């Protein structure tokens, strides 16, 4: 797909903003790796009972949404050009 220069510039700026926001979301989210080991099941269970668990889930959904948006931007930027021949 061919995009005009303005669209290309907009997509580039949007990609930078989404990547920046994704970094912020990753840094602000607590690490789960320590909670997943078989010997350490306490924190994961406590997190499920924690009132902040909903906020944690919201943060995870937000990060997934940013990754999806980034993938869509990359697909538009890198997508194949349509065949305009009849």
Q: What does DSSP assign to residue 37?
A: S
pLDDT the model gives residue 52:
76
Higher pLDDT among residues 30 and 58, named by residue:
58
Mean of all residue pLDDT scores within the chain: 76
DSSP annotation string for 45-64: HHHHHSTTHHHHHHHHHHHH
pLDDT the model gives residue 63:
93
Question: How confident is the model over 17-46, as pLDDT tens digits?
Answer: 999 999 998 887 655 444 444 555 555 555
Alpha helices in the chain (DSSP H): 5-28, 33-36, 42-49, 53-78
Instruction: Report the distance separating Cα 46 and Cα 26, nearest Å.
Output: 21
């Amino acid at each position: 797909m061919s995009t005009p220069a303005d669209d290309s510039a907009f997509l580039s700026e949007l990609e930078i903003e989404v990547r920046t926001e994704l970094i912020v979301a990753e840094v602000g989210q607590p690490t789960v790796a320590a909670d997943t080991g078989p010997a350490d099941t306490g924190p994961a269970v406590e997190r499920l009972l924690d009132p902040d668990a909903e906020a944690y889930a919201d943060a995870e959904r937000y990060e997934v949404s940013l990754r999806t948006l980034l993938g869509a931007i990359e697909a538009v930027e890198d997508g194949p050009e349509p065949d305009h021949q009849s």
